[in-house]
Structure formats: structure tokens, C-alpha cells
Structure 1
């Protein structure tokens, strides 16, 4: 007795086929069993192929990561309906810029961030536009703020597909220039933007999308952007350096993940540093804890606050006056005041004329320079002694109890045995423009190159510049102050931030993967971090409503095909059975008719 039952449909539907009850002949039973075995084998083969394809896709993840870098340099496919867009306006002190970003649909893994890239037009140029002056110049005319940004927003609107405007978030983030304004003037400018921008543009925009960000936020966004482009938020591969991370969550076990990079950025006026602090910090006193926490930012880049895979604790601070140009200005101010004070008390004439110049160890040999303050002039002559220059600039770090700044700014510990840093702006210019050793930092090589440069005659340096032996960015100003800036950068690294002289993991760079990384990329990554969760919840809702659909034939066409096959076979067998019954009844009727005929003939006389 053979019975095959298939519960491949919802509970109220089922297929039950009894081979004996259908009156099948042994050959027909064997044929039906053979068909079912072939169908089952087909389903098993299909399942195996899917698993094999999934393995191949996982093994190709590394290749796809590098392919995505190439794809990000191509023109954005605005005809692709699945792409999402976002706009960030950076309102700086000297001008404002708009950046347009895009990203494909999220891959469904809650531990993976959105793959956000900067949009490129048909000519493969990044979609960015800048206007001058800064928005802070509208402090007395705040009602013109929306008109001021109109060219930038129109530019962005022309590049984002029209049918995507309503779902494209717009963020207007203001930095240093606006921070200098009184809060009342800041509020007036923001109010005008919140009121008037939605009247002309239908982007996803609200009051929370306009913000005057702090220097700390700007530093965190820059750190996020650099690490995102470098792929440090991805899951680690076998060859990647990792760190053990502890979060502030209670009963949370340490997690191992890819090591992030710290960043140092020295501009003309300020110096900024930002790096992850993987381990919990032990403070020596409540005062130190209070001061330290003001420089620490802990945030979750993941889409679910319950998961700590992307919780980061970052130390970030800005040192005003520690940029290359401002440091030189502070040095000259001190040089000017101290020299004139000594002249007054010692009745000397140092620096008052070209014949008796002050010998400046931080200028190249033979260079004549002047410092003018309050209609008084101090004459300098380059001495070109890099070692003395180091000693001269070190006091301007304001070291206090082993930390940088006269205020005793707290510095979170750095694990120099398992960390990595990138130096941008002056760190790169100082090592590359004339020394030509940008890239991997080596303190011994850097010291020797700086010492040789400082001790070179000014006339020789000028001749080298005219012969184009330096980078295209090098000019007279760079040549004049290279000796000072090289000593300043060295002291900032090794005396200020206390990097060991044999530290192997510092790189100086201007671009990352041949492109400039803006803090706005980190901003939109942080602002849109919950969007994947929204997509995942919508997908889960679609799959769970109604619940029985998930296990039904609608979501498994192979199972559905099998059910159809069985039903068709059952119908065919039923038809064959009816046909046999009909034929048997016909034969029985013929036999009865024949018997009636024979009996009738027998009864006839």
C-alpha cells in the first residue's frame, strides 16, 4: 500500500494521492514514483546551486569592494530608480559649498553602513558648487539667508532627479563663521532658512536639518569620513589589523573589529586631532574626568541602537593658534617683543638695522627678513640651525603636565603599538612641497632632510625653485618658512602629542584614493544612519503580512511547481480511472446483453 501526502499549501489545503486507491497498475505506480523522485532531485540540485552561488558571492566581496572604488569615479546613473540622494550645505566662514551624495539600496545586513558616494555629473566631475562670502555676513540682514543659498540649492535640484526630491534629505550645517555670531543672530538666520527654503524646494527638510555645529562635531564628521573612505567600518578580513573595543554598555563583552585611523589636520590657524579610544579610560580625578569627557564623543553609526558593532568613542579637539602660520606669527611676536626689551635694558642695537640683524635660527641661511609691528621694524638674518629652531619653538606648545596647551588640555591615551594615523594639510605640505618625502613618515629621514634644508644657502634654494625642483605648490613663502614649519610639525608630533620617534604608522596625505574627503561625507553618514533600519523594517513588514504567505507557494515557486505537477498527475490518473470504469461497465453491459439475447433465444420454441 503506497500513499503520498504533500502539505505544501496552507493548512486548509493539501494534496493526498493514494496509488492503490486510484486503481493504478504496478507499472503506473512505478512511473509515478519515478516522476516524484526526479522532481525531488531537481529541487535538491537547485538548492545546492543556490548555496554554491552564495559562497561564490561571499568570496567575491573583497573584489567588489575595490570595484566600488572604480565605480565611484564614474558618472552617477540618474536613470537608476533605486538610487537615493542626499544634500549637505557647508556654510563656512569664507563661503558656502553644496555637496550632493547618492547611495544604492541597503544590502539588508543591519551591521553594514550605507554605501554613500559623492555624486558625479556626465563629465565625471563631482557635483559641488561654492559661493562667497560666508553666510555669517548676513548677521544684520538674516531675511536674505534663503536668497543667499538659492544658487546652491538650485544647483543641487538640477542634478537630483525631480521624482526623488521629496525623499532627498537636505542638511544645512554651519561652522566657524556662524559660531562667532551671537545666538540671537544665529537663530534669525536659521529661522529664515526653515521658513523660506521649503517654499521653493521640495526636499526632505525640517528645522532639525539646520544646525550650527561645534568644532568637536566637525572633527568627528571628518574622522567618520576618512575612515569610511578607507573602509575601516567594514567587517575585518584575515589580513586586517584589529583592536579590542570596550563600550560603555553594561555587561557588554569586548568586541574585535577593524582598526580605525586617527587624523591630524594642521591648517594655517589651527590644529585638530581626532582618534578612536578603543579601551575604557581611567581618570585620575573627578576634575580630569569632567575635562576629559568634553573632548570625547561616543556615538553609534549603526542603524540599531541595540547593536554595539558600530559604537565608537572618539577623542577630538582643536588647538587654536597652533596652525603653521599662526604659530609663526606667535613666534615672531615673541621675538619682536623680547628683542626690543633686551635692547632697551642692555642698550644694544640688535635687529634695528640690516647691518646688525637678529640671527633667526628658523630661517634659511643668508635670508634677510623683517618683522614690522607698530611702525617699528626688526631685521632678521637666517641662521639655518634646525636643532636650535626646535628648541626655540618648543615653548609655544604650552606644555603643561605633559599635555599640550597652557590650560592643561586633557589628551586621551594612544596605543602607539596598535594604532594608525594620517596627517593632512600642513603635515603633508611640509614634508612634500620642498622636502619631497610625503607619504610614509620616518622621523630620522625627516629630521635629516629638514636639517639639510635649513642649512642650505637661500640663493641655492631660490635657484632650485626656479629650476622647478620642488612641487608646483611651492612658492617664496614656502621656501622662507619651511625651516620653521618643519621644526614646528616635528615638535607638535613628538613633544606635543608624544608620538615615539620610531612610530611606524603615520602617513601624510593630501588625498585619499585620489580624492579630497570632506567632513560633509561624515556628516551625511551620521545623519542617515537610521535609514537602513527603516528599510529593513519595511521589508520585514512586507514579508510578515499575511504571516502564512512566508511559508506558502508564493515564496517558493519550486514547491508550487511540485504541487501543480502532483495535482495534474492526480487528475490524469483520475481520468484514466474513470475511463477504465466506463470501459468495464461497457463490457459488463455487452455481456449482459449477450446473456439476455442467449436466454431469449433459448426461451423461444
Structure 2
């Protein structure tokens, strides 16, 4: 009897044997149809997998190209582009920024792709005027006249057809904080429809939003694009450290909910924790963030140096009174300063008091001398030691350090980028140990960064020690922490806090496009499902068809088994019938 055998060489060999003669034409067609269906499903699954991988690579390539397109001139002839204008009213002056974005991709989990506008020379469209808006505090009716040059500048770049639909945001930070609320409130009403009160307290969060947006940390992981109601995986956001000349800022995401050790700590944290949703739908929580933000006035590099000089002067004069000495009174008896290069002579003036100092170039001792500046001279002062700081998961975190964090590591030490404490500490110590004459000669030979000036060369020893103390003693970053990167630019561009501001302000705009898309194509949403979601359906179909084939073969096997048992009975019946017939014929 002919047999059809299927073998699967796994740990064992399985054989399914069916009689070929027992298959009628209809059964053969059914079996062939099942096999063909399995082949088609496998082909579709493989094809979808290949297309999904290609689409994934295309998305990555598009994001890579977007970094370069952001540096190109903006195509203002493109009617699909939308625009937005942000005015930053600062203490020394005001600036206007023009942004643009293409149509939203209709995915409610994605943010608008907002970029800063660039002119034909590929330069950012920005204009600054002086003085600050605080100059019109006593005459708020002149606020509109003050804003006119900025708004005229922006209007010249935004296409006229887009003027009516272009949002304008006037946000003020330091310039208005110096004024009473009644004064800046009147100025905001005269300046435009959107006031500045929110910007006074929220601009540090805007900076955090802008940095993470440019870094792509608000995008979802590749391969996680699913149906609208399926779970998405958020990328880990980065924290930011920014040390200027006068103040120090820190901002990073903290988990929700946040635990507190006492009611007093919870009360102190209320003004330092910001909760917000960047998503276009308040029902979606994929872009809900809680960010800890804090600013420490007087902890910037330049002000910290002034505080240190005052501390050095007060200590010296107190010691002189006790000992009857005159240290620092003249250049012949200078006070040794471990935070200045060896051999450098300087003078500290405080009112009528003068202190002569000479650099010692001892980086380790300098760090020890700076410790009192972290704790403060009195208990009422807000310092790094007594301010509330939300917990940081140092094993699973990443930070970017800007301004002084970058200058200290890169301008003369050339160690910008990934921060490695042992390397930085050794380089800073070696720099401080060099004599002032050697350092100035290297500066004249242009061995340092083009951004480094003589002021940097002079105070690099102090500022590197201060940065180190703030990071490891103030914020308690572990000494083996490897998640800090110092930078001046992000993807070759400077990121302003105004980018984060317009991202937050325009977060609801995609709802219009999503709603219009839903009306225009109410039944085509399944076309946008990715293979990550559909492959379950393909494999389920393959499983069903395979089970059907197995059951069909099992049924044929049983039929064949029944036929084999029926054959001996037929032979027995024939053997009994034939002799009986012979006897009957003989009689």
C-alpha cells in the first residue's frame, strides 16, 4: 500500500502515514488548500517582518537626518509648516525666537516636531534688544512700544499667510522677578494676551523639557509603536546641571509617587517639584512627568569665588587680631591661597580692607577650604546641605552638565564629554601645581581652547575644585559615577529654555489634526498598526491552520486504522462462505 510520510527531525522522528488510495479528490483538494494557506500565512508574516525592520531603519534614518535638517534654512514656501514666536524678557535685555513645525503625525503619543527657524544663511532667527523690559515698569503703557522691534522682526520671517494662526508667547524671567507683582502684571497685560507670571516660576522646567526633547528622550523606544491603547515604553530622561556665574541649577525627573520622610520635608518639596503633562490628551499619561528643580543663588562660579575671598579675608584678620600679626597686610607677607596657581600674586579688596594673597597651587587643599561655602555661614541661609533634594537613582540615571561644568572640564583641561572623576581630579591637580608663569606662557602659545581667556586661566584651579565639591559633596554624586556628560551644545546647537516653553504651550495643538484625521478616515486606523501588534494575529492563524491539518491527518489515520481491522473480518467471512458453496454444489 502506498504511503505519504511527513518527518520532523527534532529530538525524535515523527511519522504520519496515510493511505494515498483512501484520499478522494475532495480530500486531496482540502489538504492542499490547508498546506497552501500555511505557506501564504508564513510568507505574509515574513514579508511584514521584513517591512517592519525596514520601516524601523527608515525611522532611525529620518531622525538622524532631522538633526541635520534642523541646521538648514527653513523652507518658508512650504504651506504645511506652522510657526510660533516666543519672547524672552530678561534682566539685561529681551530676545525673540521664531520656531516652526511640520504637520503632526496623528499619533497621540508623539509631540510636535518643533525646531528653531533658520534664515538663508543657516543662522538661527533670533533678535536681542537692550535694556530689559524692567525699564518700562513705571510706564507699563509703553510695553507695546518696547515689544514692537521684536515683533516686527519675527513678522518679517513668518509668512504673512500664517500671521493669524501663529501663537505668540511673552515670557519673563529675571527681569520681572525684581519687580512687584502689581507692576509686572500690568506690564504683561499691555505686552500681549499671554502674561509672564507662569514663566517666572516655570522657566527652569522649560529648560529641562528643551534638553530632553532635543536628545529624543520624549520619543518611544523603537519597536514599541503599537495600537493606540497598547502600552508604550518611555525612554529614560536626563537630568541637567547648570552653573553660571551667580547661581547653580539642577533639574531631574523623580518617580511618581514620591515618598517623604516627614511632613516638614513634604512641605519643603511643594515648591521644588513640578508636575506636568506634555501630551495632547489629558487622559493619556505617557508624557506625565514630575521634575525636581532648584536654584541656589550665590553658588555660581564667580560669586562663589567672591564668597571664598571674603571668607579668606575674615579668617586672616581674625587670626591677626588673636596673634598680633599682620599677615596679608603687604606684598612681602602674603596669605597663601591654595586655590590660585603657584606664584600668582593678587589683592582682595573689601571696603577699606585689603588682603594680599599668593597662589599655592594645592588643588586638594583648595577643595577642603571650600567646604564651608557648601554649608553656609549661618543656618538661615539656603544651601546645598540644608535644602530638600529629591532622591536620585545613581545606578540608573544620566545627567548633562552645562556652562561652568563644561568650561571647567574642557577650556583648559580638554576633558569635555563623559565625566570620569579620577581623570578629572588628576588633570586639575596637575594644572594647579604649575606655576603662573608657565600657565601664562601656554596661554600665549594658544595651547588652550579658543574660548579660554586669561580670567579662565587664573581661576581654573578654584573653579575646578568648586565644581568637584558641588558635584560630590553638595549633590552627593558618587565618586565613581559615570553618568555625567559635560557639554556646551546638543547635536551642534544651543538649546534655549524657550524651546521647552513652546513645546509645553502648544501641547494641545495636535488634537486638531488628530480629530480631523479621525473624521476623514474613520475606518482606516487598522492600516497604521505595526507588525509588533499584527504578528500575534499571524501566528494565531498559523497555529489554527496547523491544528486543523493535524486533526485532519489524525482523522485519516483513524479511518485507515479502522480499515485495517476490517480486512481480517472480510477474509474470515470469505473463507467460511466459499467452502459452504462448494459443498452445496456437490450435493
Deviation of 1:237 (Å): 3.2
**Structure 2 partner of 1:202:** none
Deviation of 1:109 (Å): 0.4
Distance in 2 of aligned mates of 1:279 and 1:414: 13
**Structure 1 partner of 2:217:** 232
Deviation of 1:408 (Å): 1.9
Q: How big is each residue's C-alpha offset from its partner over 1:377-415, in whole Å with a ceiling of 9 and x where there is no partner? A: 1100001111110011011111799x9817821100110
Alignment of 1:409-558 (within 5 A): 409-543=387-521
Deviation of 1:542 (Å): 4.1
- The answer on 1:270 being equivalent to 2:247 is yes
Q: Is the 8 A contact 1:87 1:100 kept in 2?
A: yes
Going from structure 1 to structure 2, the CA distance change for 1:453 and 1:59 (only over 3 Å counts) comes to closer
Going from structure 1 to structure 2, the CA distance change for 1:101 and 1:281 (only over 3 Å counts) comes to same
Q: Is the 8 A contact 2:82 2:100 kept in 1?
A: yes
- What RMSD, in angstroms, separates the aligned Cα atoms of the two structures? 2.7
Distance in 2 of aligned mates of 1:254 and 1:385: 55
Secondary structure at the aligned position of 2:290 is classed as: strand
Distance in 2 of aligned mates of 1:56 and 1:550: 21
Distance in 1 of aligned mates of 2:497 and 2:431: 34
**Structure 1 partner of 2:206:** 221
Distance in 1 of aligned mates of 2:409 and 2:236: 26
Going from structure 1 to structure 2, the CA distance change for 1:406 and 1:52 (only over 3 Å counts) comes to closer
Distance in 1 of aligned mates of 2:64 and 2:301: 36
**Structure 1 partner of 2:187:** 189
Distance in 2 of aligned mates of 1:255 and 1:514: 30
**Structure 2 partner of 1:210:** 195
**Structure 2 partner of 1:324:** 301
Q: How big is each residue's C-alpha offset from its partner over 1:232-273, in whole Å with a ceiling of 9 and x where there is no partner? A: 01111379xxxxxxxxxxxxx997421111000000000000
Match of residue 102, structure 1, among 81, 97, 100: 100
**Structure 1 partner of 2:36:** none
**Structure 2 partner of 1:61:** 59
Higher relative contact order (CA 8 A, sep 6+): 2
Going from structure 1 to structure 2, the CA distance change for 1:476 and 1:518 (only over 3 Å counts) comes to same
Deviation of 1:285 (Å): 1.1
Distance in 1 of aligned mates of 2:81 and 2:365: 58
Deviation of 1:106 (Å): 0.3
Q: How big is each residue's C-alpha offset from its partner over 1:101-128, in whole Å with a ceiling of 9 and x where there is no partner? A: 0000000100000000001111111111
Q: Is the 8 A contact 2:335 2:357 kept in 1?
A: yes
**Structure 1 partner of 2:14:** none
Going from structure 1 to structure 2, the CA distance change for 1:391 and 1:50 (only over 3 Å counts) comes to closer
Q: How big is each residue's C-alpha offset from its partner over 1:68-119, in whole Å with a ceiling of 9 and x where there is no partner? A: 1111111111111110000000001111110000000000100000000001
Distance in 1 of aligned mates of 2:198 and 2:316: 42
Q: How big is each residue's C-alpha offset from its partner over 1:31-50, in whole Å with a ceiling of 9 and x where there is no partner? A: xxxxxxxxxxxxxx99x999
Match of residue 313, structure 1, among 284, 290, 314: 290
User: Structure 2: which 5+ runs fail to align?
Assistant: 1-42, 225-229, 527-587
Q: How big is each residue's C-alpha offset from its partner over 1:5-40, in whole Å with a ceiling of 9 and x where there is no partner? A: xxxxxxxxxxxxxxxxxxxxxxxxxxxxxxxxxxxx
**Structure 2 partner of 1:168:** 166
- Tell me which moved more, 464-473 or 291-300: 291-300
Distance in 2 of aligned mates of 1:333 and 1:184: 37
Distance in 1 of aligned mates of 2:412 and 2:437: 15
Distance in 2 of aligned mates of 1:285 and 1:526: 32
Alignment TM-score, normalising by the size of structure 1: 0.75
Q: Which runs of 4+ in 1 moved over 3 A?
A: 48-59, 212-216, 253-256, 541-544
**Structure 1 partner of 2:546:** none
Going from structure 1 to structure 2, the CA distance change for 1:191 and 1:509 (only over 3 Å counts) comes to same
Distance in 2 of aligned mates of 1:213 and 1:476: 40
Distance in 1 of aligned mates of 2:382 and 2:176: 27
Match of residue 395, structure 1, among 372, 377, 393: 372
**Structure 2 partner of 1:83:** 81
Alignment of 1:4-153 (within 5 A): 56-153=54-151
Q: Is the 8 A contact 2:331 2:356 kept in 1?
A: yes
Distance in 2 of aligned mates of 1:503 and 1:51: 40
Distance in 1 of aligned mates of 2:103 and 2:189: 33
Deviation of 1:505 (Å): 1.2
Deviation of 1:538 (Å): 2.7
Deviation of 1:436 (Å): 1.1
Deviation of 1:345 (Å): 2.9
Secondary structure at the aligned position of 1:535 is classed as: helix
Distance in 2 of aligned mates of 1:449 and 1:440: 15
Secondary structure at the aligned position of 1:257 is classed as: coil
Alignment TM-score, normalising by the size of structure 2: 0.77
**Structure 2 partner of 1:384:** 361
- Tell me which moved more, 138-147 or 122-131: 138-147
Distance in 2 of aligned mates of 1:215 and 1:445: 39
Q: Is the 8 A contact 1:121 1:127 kept in 2?
A: yes
Distance in 2 of aligned mates of 1:58 and 1:406: 45
Deviation of 1:429 (Å): 0.4
Deviation of 1:224 (Å): 0.4
Secondary structure at the aligned position of 1:78 is classed as: coil
Distance in 2 of aligned mates of 1:258 and 1:378: 53
Secondary structure at the aligned position of 2:448 is classed as: coil
Deviation of 1:341 (Å): 2.3
Deviation of 1:361 (Å): 0.8
Distance in 2 of aligned mates of 1:493 and 1:226: 20
Distance in 2 of aligned mates of 1:350 and 1:292: 45
Distance in 2 of aligned mates of 1:416 and 1:54: 35
**Structure 1 partner of 2:346:** 369
User: Structure 1: which 5+ runs fail to align?
Assistant: 1-44, 195-205, 240-252, 552-605
Q: How big is each residue's C-alpha offset from its partner over 1:281-331, in whole Å with a ceiling of 9 and x where there is no partner? A: 211111111111221111111101111111111111000000000101111
